[in-house]
Amino acid sequence: MPSEFELIDIFLKPFGGGEGVGSDCAAVKVTRGMQLVATTDAVVQGVHFTLPRFSPEDVGWKALAVNLSDLAAAGAKPRWFLCALGVPPRTARLAERIARGMAKLATSSGCKLVGGNVTRSSEWSITITALGEARRPLTRFGARPGDALVVAGKLGDAAAPGAPKAQRRPVPLVDAGMKAGPFASASIDVSDGFVQDLGHLCDASGVGAVVECSALPLGPAARALPHGMELALSGGEDYALIWSVPRARVAALQRVVKCVEVGRITRAPGIQLTELGVPRPLPARRGFDHLR
């Protein structure tokens, strides 16, 4: 087992060092006219991943990806992140491989590691705090009755048995989120399940929604399954983006971002599902709950 400081050096190697790494705090400068956007999320062994079903590189990639997806939902450009590691005894050799997966996504996203922490833990945990910037960050608030409900990305594959890459290496839709910023009125990413996350957006905005299930963009693995629609509605971890968009802006949004209109925002609260215009019951399981 290396010492704490030897492990830090091992972990930093794939990043080629880091701006601010080694100090207790990192100072960052936001571009003029932009707002700082911050998010934090964790992946924990036995909850979000198991070894060896996930490779250490998968774990590092996913830990950063789930945070970048939150920045994408805000329409923010990723700039920096901090990483706190919980390291079990006798497994420190995995740290460099976790870092390699994380560094690969960080490089492709233009996001720099600027600090973090290491502590002993009974299981692996990787907690990321990601920082980005946006001129007008999107939130769950702001959806209005009459807005179109629009989705970018695919649904259901992360929960489908035949698509392990969708679960292990989700691709955060950062570019789509940034491009949608000027058009959308509210936004959320699909981390815990489409119905559940849409419910969060509706509750925050004080509205409801009608969803036409036949319009939902199912992934290829989900589409091939008889219960693929259930996976799309409540499977979670797809990291698609849900937007509420004023109807007059939908066509302009679709010219710059690949996305589909799947329903509308309503004044009446609650979520209603239809399939080819016929009412469809909500799934018994709406999504993932960490405490159940």
pLDDT of residue 16: 84
Residues of the chain with pLDDT under 50: none
Strand arrangement, sheet containing 270-275: 186-189, 241-245, 148-152, 260-266, 208-212, 270-275, 278-280
Q: Is residue 283 reached through a cis peptide bond, with omega within 30 degrees of 0 on the bond before it?
A: no
d(CA 149, CA 207): 12
pLDDT of residue 18: 54
Domains in the chain, start-ordered, CATH in brackets?
A: 4-134 (3.30.1330.10), 148-280 (3.90.650.10)
pLDDT of residue 93: 86
d(CA 71, CA 173): 9
Angle, nearest 10°, between helix axes 4-12 and 95-109? 40
pLDDT of residue 11: 94
**CB atoms < 10 A from the CB of 86, how many?**
18
pTM of the model as a whole: 0.95
d(CA 113, CA 84): 11
Which tens digit of pLDDT belongs to each residue from 233-276?
A: 999 999 999 999 999 999 999 999 999 999 999 999 999 999 99
**CB atoms < 10 A from the CB of 274, how many?**
15
pLDDT of residue 113: 97
In the numeric block, the tokens 């050096």 are attached to: 9
pLDDT of residue 79: 98
pLDDT of residue 200: 97
Look at residue 115 and give its three-state secondary structure: strand
